[in-house]
Structure formats: structure tokens, C-alpha cells
A and B are shown apart, each in its own frame.
Chain A
Amino acid sequence: MSDPLPFTHVVLVLQGPWLGKEWAWTSFWVVLAFIAGASTISVRFFRWD
């Protein structure tokens, strides 16, 4: 259930180098996709009033 949510992937990306493990590349790309998607929504739907 938690895999589609960004928090899990941010945790995995942080835990990797913090604990001396490998960089979580899959989670890295998922987080980047969330950044791109959310930024697109912000620019497209932002209203001043």
C-alpha cells in the first residue's frame, strides 16, 4: 500500500547513505517523478484569487 506514496521513497533515499547502504535508485526516480508531477500541477492550476 505504501509504495505509491512518496514518503516511503524519500525515507529509502535518505536511509541508504545514512546507514552506509547503496543509493536507492528506484526510489530516487520515483521521488523525481513526484517532483515533476506536483510542479506541473502547481504551475497549471495555481490561482492568485
Chain B
Amino acid sequence: MTETSVLLEPSTGYLLLALFSALWIGLGFYWGRRNKSFEDHALAGRNIGLALGSATAAATWITSNTTMLAPQFALELGIWGMLAYSMAAFGLILFAPLAKRIRQLMPHGYTSGDFFRLRYGRLAWGIFLVFTLFYSLTWLVTMAMAGGILLEALAGIDYVWGMTVVLAVCVIYTMRGGLAAVIGTDFIQSLIIIVGIVVVGFAVLQNVTVSEIHANLTANKPALVDVLFPAAIMALFNNLLFGLGEVFHNNVWWSRAFAFREGVGSKAFLIGGLVWFPIPVAAGFIALASGALGVAVPSPDMVGPLVIANVLGEFGAIAIFIIVFCSLASSIDSLLAATSDLITEDIYRRLISPAATPERLKSVAQIVTLVLGFGTWAVCVPRIGTLASVLFFAGPLVGAMIWPIVTGLYWRRATTTGAVGGMLLGGGIGLVSYFEIGWFVASTIGTAVSMAWVLACAALSRTQFDWNLLKEA
């Protein structure tokens, strides 16, 4: 048990956990009543409006990594670190026009895998599935791990028990309610998170002024306020490209593009990105205050909760507990739903049982969600690695998928050779850069290599792709 656990009694932690678990599961069952087919379950009837659409885009992107890693970025990379994290908002903002295009080109589509299969063929589809499943499962694992770490650090709840409860709650309501439950809970969770961050932020500023924070940093950690901090500036580009790659390829976002009502997608992603943009700064500056407040930070990835709990006492501990629990749930549920849809549509329906009924597909998606939950749990139990290293390992892989997707959606001359080579070369060289140079350049290099290959192949190609091939029923 850590020092901070005394700030939130385990009984309070269990009470909060029980209350929010009951709320999410209850809503999941309530909203899941209308789901009859796979389309209802996976895409909420393709009829999501602007408010729910905007909120789910923002809430899904507010992960535990936002609320816990943004402060860590600020602690290690200073002001540039917070701004670098905010760059990930451009993933949502720039996906806005793509969402409109996706909905137009693929009115009957279900997953991002459908796009790769129909646009580039089976080899590119296979590579895409390996990359995206690796990334999605990595993301899922980091968040489930974060859940266990948070509950243990704040309330003294055993890591394995905490992680198990967070995961189990999300699995239950996602299985029962599908995307409708995910999007409905996302709206509530996004408001709780944003309001919580504002309240906690202003409460911290009652204890220390920004001028005092700046003076302390200038005296003790001048690199954190340095305009020319090389690693931090590289992180800016890395995060921008990581955000683009993640949003552009992942079925979490594609499933929303398919689920939003006609004409809603582009506005919802734009608003979602604008809602998300200030959050890394609002959550991250708290870490910069640790020195001025005299808070010892033994573990950088816990700096946010440590500062808040130390400065604001039990109120702060409860607030951060709720904020991070909502952040975890809003992302874990989305990943469970989107990944189970991807496996159900791209593997079960396309490779195993093409004649499966919509009702059967819905049941398979629910079973896959359960299996994903168990698999994630099994990987999380040994508690491997830190949050940042596990997540950013996948950065170059997602960066390498940006150009095959963008060119494939807009350019008839984009080719399979370009897509396959771009993903393999970009992902491979990006991974070498990750180990030889550092995480902060891996996505940038992976994306640049992929871009060069994809554009060169398209420039040399005489292919004219028929967009109607994407309209598969």
C-alpha cells in the first residue's frame, strides 16, 4: 500500500466502485433492450445524433492515459509536454472529413477491416488486422492496468481486484448494451470527467499560483519551461502523428463513423476534438505544481493523482478516483465493443461463417467481448511495463497506417503494393527507431517512411479504383 492510500479509505473506494459499477451496468441493460441484430448491437442502428456523437468522440479519446499520462508528460517534458499531448486532438479533428467520406463510400460498412479488404485485398487486410489488433489489445491492457494501479494507489484496493472489477463492469455492460450502451454512458462519463477536471484544477490553484509554479520550475527544473527542449518538441510531432494514426485506423472511430446519423459524423468529430484539446493542459499542469507544493513523486505515472490527493485531501482523492474511473470505462468499453465487432465481422463472418444470421452475429460479438475481457485480464495480472512504454511501442505501427487509409479513401491510384509496403516498411523501420533512438521519434519516422512508399507507388501506378466496390451490402 502506498502513502497516498491513507487519503482515501478502502471502504470509500469500494463504495464509489460499487455505485458507479451499478450505474454503468444498469444503463447498459436498459439501453441494450432494443438491440435485436448485429447492426443494432455494433452500430446502434446507425442513427446517433450530434450531442451523443460529439461526447462519445471526446470521451473515448479521454483515456486513463490522458488523465494519468498527461501529468507525466508535463512532469518529464514540461510545458511542451502538455502541449504535445494536446496535439492528439488533431486525430479527431482531421478525422472529421474522413468520417463523412467513409459514410458516403461505405453506407453498409461495419468496420475499418471492411475498408482494407475491399480497397486493398486480403494481404493488406491481414496485415492491417495484425497491426490493429496488436494496438487495440495493447491499449486495452494499458487501461485495465491503469485501473488496477489507480485503485491500489488511491484506496489501497489490491491491484488484481481493482483491475478485475473495472474490466468486469465494462465487459458486462458492453456485452449487454453494445454500442448504444457505450455511447450513452460515454456522454455521462465525458461530463463527469470534464467537470471534475475543472473543479480539481481550480481547487489546486487555490493552493498555489501559476506564478509560483513558474518560479519554482525556473529555479529547479529550467528544462521544463525551456522553449527549445528538443525531446519535447519531437514529442509534439510524435503525438500528433500517433493521434492521427490511432484515430484514422482504429475501428473504435470507424464504427462511430458508421453509427452516426447521415450528416453528423464530420461535425461530431470536429466538436469532439475541440472538447478534448484543452484537457491535457487542464489535467497536466497539476504535475508542474508538484515542486512548488513540495509533493514528493516516487512514481512519475502517478504524479497527477499524488499531487491532487496530497493537496486536496479526501475530496481530491475522491475526485480523481471518479475522473479516472470514468476515463477508464469510457475507453475500455469502446475498445471492447469495437474490437469484438472487428473480430466478429472480419474474422467470424468473413472467414468462418459467411451465412451467419444477424442474431447469430450479435451473439458471437457478445461472446467475443467476454473472451477479450478474460484475455486482457490474464495479460494484466503480472503487471508488465509502464503505461507509456507499453502504449508507445505500438506508435510506429499506427503511424504507418495513416497514408494507406488517407490515399485509399481519396485517391483512385492508391495501390495494394503501396499499402502493404507502407505498413510493413513504416512499421518495421519505426520500431527500429523506437529501440535505437527513442519513443519520441518512432511514430514520426514510421509515418514518414510509409508516406514516401505509399505516395511513390501511387505516383507510378495507372490503377483507377472503382469506388462502387466499397458499397458492399
Q: Decide whether A and B assemble into one complex.
A: no
